[in-house]
Amino acid sequence: MSSPSGSAPPVPHTFREYLASFGPGIMVVLTWLGAGDIVEIGIAGGNYGYSLMWVLIVAVLMRFLFVSLIARYQLCNQHGEGVLDGLARLHPWYAPLLLAASFVMGHVYLAYMTVGTAETCRNLTGLGEIWQWALLWNGIAFYLAFRPSYDRLELVFKILLGLLSISFLGSALWVGFDPAALLAGLVKVEMPEQRGAFGPLLIAMGMVGAVGGSLMNLAYPYFLDAKGWRGAQYRRVQFYDFLLAIVVLLILNLSVWILGAELLYPDKTITVLDDLPKLLSTVLGEWGRRLFYLGIFAAIYTSVLGHAVGLAYMGSHAWLRHKAGTGKITQDYRSHPLYRVLIVWCLVSPLIWTIPGMPDFVRLTLLANSAQVVMLPLLAGGLWWITADAKYIGKEYRNRWWENVLMAFLFVLAVYSAGESVIAIVRYFTGGK
């Protein structure tokens, strides 16, 4: 895998040095956390109170273990290559598949994130039009991403993390919660009776099932590489970096769940992102609504930045890997023109959906997701293979038996989730028949 010039950062040894080194984990978990997660977690809390919180713990723990195995391949494999290189070594079609996914999902992901960022700012301020806010914030993202400086991006993410923490955690503490009910929800494994449109088993499967095949799991290796962490000597700091990030993600998710449980359960529901801030305004007043909206903005905008940069890295790398075949890549994917083409594509093309009078892009999203769900088992299966087989990762670092059990479980869930998603999409386009 081609690396940028410059010396590698020092390996930390003290607690202070570790804290100063952390960053890639925060970037990837904030890339994952978006408006959809906020709505889904709020709905889960509103429908089932605290009784399904243990599912969130399981899902986050599985993601930690799964992505840690991906990071181990990135840092420790015997070929000194990236994760995408390993997948292409397994089968050459992975490179063009991920290149196509970078373009297709780059438009779809960034379309609803662009609209979400703009709607949040308009709702927060009561000023301007959707397209004006979208142009402003995507323009800033373009400035940050077109010629990326990792240190600058990491600083932006850390500032927005502070805003997120004050917003979500502050709102949850302001509303208040029952500590005993919270603890019971975290440790008591139960499946309550169905409330609302989504059964508890479906919510549980949905939270866990997408872990193994999520396309943006592959963003983490690129953030590690951009940080300069290359080689097994960085394995320990990577582990603690990601562990801290996962704890932060869990706290943020639990804060939103608490808000759903306290404000909605058992007789209210939410269907769109604006419902929860409106409810907060009735409990905490206008400042409570604004506080939560600031967190929503931070959650969506970090996803805008993380998706644009991560997908541009991946698409450029996939193109170079496809061109090189089984040979060595001699160019740095960060400086390749395709990286900048993808940044333009991800941040400019979605603006079309903010033009007044444009129809929504629900059908586009469903069509793209129907293609993406096919990738769930392909990604989960491929990542399992290259982390389990000594031919790819090396004998010393291949999966242990319990890690293979975890990967097998996630692969089965990915296949199940893909099948269910395809059935749901077919029903949508056939009028529910």
Residues 21/241, Cβ–Cβ less than 8 Å: yes
Burial 160-198 (b: 16+ CB within 10 A, else e): bbebbbebbbbbbeebebeeebbeebeeeeeeeeeeeee
Contact 194, 289 (CB under 8 A): no
Contacts of 371 (CB under 8 A, 6+ apart): 104
Q: What is the mean pLDDT of residues 256-283?
A: 78
What are 384-405's pLDDT values in tens digits?
Answer: 999 999 999 999 999 999 999 9
Rg (CA), the chain: 21
> Residue 365: what pLDDT?
53
Instruction: Say whether pTM exceeds 0.85.
Output: yes
**Where does the pLDDT of residue 298 fall: very low under 50, low under 70, confident under 90, or very high at 90 and above?**
very high
pLDDT of residue 4: 47
Q: What percent of the chain has pLDDT over 70?
A: 87
- Residue 3 scores a pLDDT above 50: no
Domains contained in the chain, CATH given:
15-365 (1.20.1740)
Q: Read off the pLDDT of residues 170-181 as tens digits, 9 standing for 90 and up.
A: 999 998 888 998
Q: Which pLDDT belongs to residue 154?
A: 96
pLDDT > 90 fraction of the chain, expressed in percent and rounded: 54
End-to-end CA distance of the chain: 48
pLDDT at 190: 79
Residue 2: is its pLDDT beyond 50? Answer: no
Residue 343: predicted pLDDT: 98
Neighbours of 51 (CB within 10 A): 22
Which tokens hold the place of 96? 């063009």
Predicted pLDDT of residue 270: 67
**What are the tens digits of pLDDT across the range 88-141?**
999 999 999 999 999 999 998 899 889 889 989 998 999 999 999 999 999 999
Given this model, what pLDDT does residue 381 score?
Answer: 93
Q: Please give the pLDDT value at position 163.
A: 95
Min mean pLDDT across 268-277, 309-318, 379-388 is at 268-277
Q: Report the pLDDT value the prediction gives residue 35, as an integer from 0 to 100.
A: 75
pLDDT at 207: 64
Mean pLDDT of the chain: 87
pLDDT at residue 5 greater than cutoff 50: no
Question: Between 132 and 274, whose confidence is greater?
Answer: 132
67-94 tens-digit pLDDT: 999 999 999 999 999 999 999 999 999 9
CA 226 to CA 244: how far, in whole Å? 19
Looking at residue 311, its pLDDT comes to 97
Query: Given this model, what pLDDT does residue 206 score?
Result: 62
Q: What is the pLDDT of residues 253-266, one digit of tens each?
A: 999 999 888 888 87
Q: What is the pLDDT of residues 346-372, one digit of tens each?
A: 999 999 988 887 765 555 555 555 556
Res 316 pLDDT > 60: yes
Q: What is the DSSP string of 278-311?
A: HHHHHHH-HHHHHHHHHHHHHHHHHHHHHHHHHH
Distance CA 138, CA 118 (A): 9
Range in 137-151, 281-295, 319-333 with the lowest mean pLDDT: 281-295
Phi, psi of 81 (to 5 degrees): -120, 170
Judged against a pLDDT cut of 60, whether residue 213 lies above it is answered with no
Judge if the upstream peptide bond of residue 266 is cis by omega within 30 degrees of 0: yes
